[in-house]
Structure 1
């Protein structure tokens, strides 16, 4: 489940530990070399706690901008974090937003008889002009099972409907559920713009995304030693359908796996993408930036 914090407890990146006694795993990694062309982090959670130093939204985005990450999509995953997202959008123009009920949270709302009311509030929150996506929504067969899966799929279908009616991008959470996610998208009719957040599939799913025109957003997991499936997927992916994200504070890229993640860490993943695809770094940055604007619209 999501456990968003109050605004006073925002945590964001620092280029090093402020507390020398803090455990190394809780210290933010050093800032990477800046990218030659700016990109955007299209999935982050600024309301999640991690690291040693509480810092506000502006400081988090300033740290990202210093290394060539010029904007981010702040993502909600329950009512509290979706409300936070809407409030955050009014604090800094470098943010766009997404609101939704995470697939693992939907069964809890359903168990309390609150799912339809929660979905109605998500739709109301999505009216903010800087909310550009419904997400993260989808299916998660890793943490949910039994009757919860029925509620999860119902919630996913309702989110698809909201995205289509409001003409918003759909941001997919897909964990161990590739075939069923694709099945539901086809049965419901996918929105015009679909992003597989933290792409976790293989070459086969990448080719399906190519065929359907669905974007694939790669996170720090791409750099993990056991991620051969993601590297094969990236190799197969249409370059006009790839993006980058952190999913911060989770999924910190190699060589800092296990430490806190934040938007300023995006360059590690972009450089890995360039190396794996044999791409010119500046050219790849341009492509990622253009793809991201096509998916979510302009930040300005």
Structure 2
């Protein structure tokens, strides 16, 4: 019998043997994706639920102008949160007024989507990134899912500006890479990657993982590593040394199997850590200790 389609959050996981950090989440976005009738625990509730299952802290990502300043404020008000800020590659296209980014089959809006020019938007991000509770620049990178030649050029410009900012501030860089693996690696090689570089929600195969590992980058795996059609991502996870491994939720997106399609939350990182340990054939306690230690090394103490 098919599993009844659920609409709420996945059930609470068994607590992890060693607490871990959710390397990438969007707490401000969770309430907006909840179906009617599903209660939102709120920020305090999500942090408490995460702590109960062994997700001790989160990296809250504000990747547009609307979410960046609130993400910094969250981090300043709650000890379990540090922030990352950036202009997402798709947002960069909209700040530049390029008309290529539009839902499949639909004409793009003829007017620019954002009034703030891209250079000014990046300046605002750079100012926010100087706050003590901002511990990473991201997510930035390239997203070729819908962008055409003009959009891709704008994304590359924005990506390079974020790389320079991360190096100027001595912060790790969190990368968004969608259908752009070769070009992301090329830009990082050409400009010189920051000392610490993280591929958020790694989506490449084992060959790409090997190149990232050779370069010293960290690979962060989300619930997508459990998807039935993600065998290449599992192979990449299996090949990633514990010393370069991170876990994330990307909440409220990418909820792991068997809850795919339901809203995600930081507490669900506990399920993904277990899936990673199984994929790697490694001891769960050892995996938890490694990913938590890597997060602490990257972002400093919470």
* Separation in structure 1 between the aligned mates of residue 301 and residue 116 of structure 2, nearest angstrom: 38
Query: Partner residue of 1:39?
Result: 20
2:176 matched to which residue of 1?
173
1:50 and 2:19 are equivalent in the alignment: no
> Deviations for 1:186-214, whole angstroms, at most 9, x for unmatched residues?
11100000000000001111111111110
The corresponding residue for 2:160 is 157
Task: Give 5+ residue unaligned stretches, structure 1.
Answer: 1-22
Which of residues 265, 268, 286 in structure 1 aligns to 2:268? 265
Identify the range of structure 1 (45-54 vs 188-197) with the bigger mean alpha-carbon deviation: 45-54
What is the match of residue 132 of structure 2? 129
1:48-83 Cα offsets, whole Å, 9 max, x none, are 122322333221100100000000000011111101
User: Aligned-pair distance for 1:25?
Assistant: 4.3
63, 67, 70: which one pairs with 2:53? 67
Q: Trace 1:1-300 onto structure 2 (pairs within 5 A).
A: 25-48=6-29, 49-51=32-34, 52-111=38-97, 112=115, 114-299=117-302
2:102 corresponds to which residue? none
Where 2:17 maps in the other structure, the secondary structure is coil
TM-score by length of 2: 0.89
SS at match of 2:89: coil
TM-score by length of 1: 0.90
Number of residue equivalences: 277
Structure 2 residue ranges without an equivalent (≥5): 98-114
SS in 2 for 1:147: helix
Alpha-carbon displacement from aligned partner over 1:242-300 (angstroms, at most 9, x marks no partner): 0000000000001111100000101111111111111111111001111111121111x
Secondary structure of 1:150's aligned partner = helix
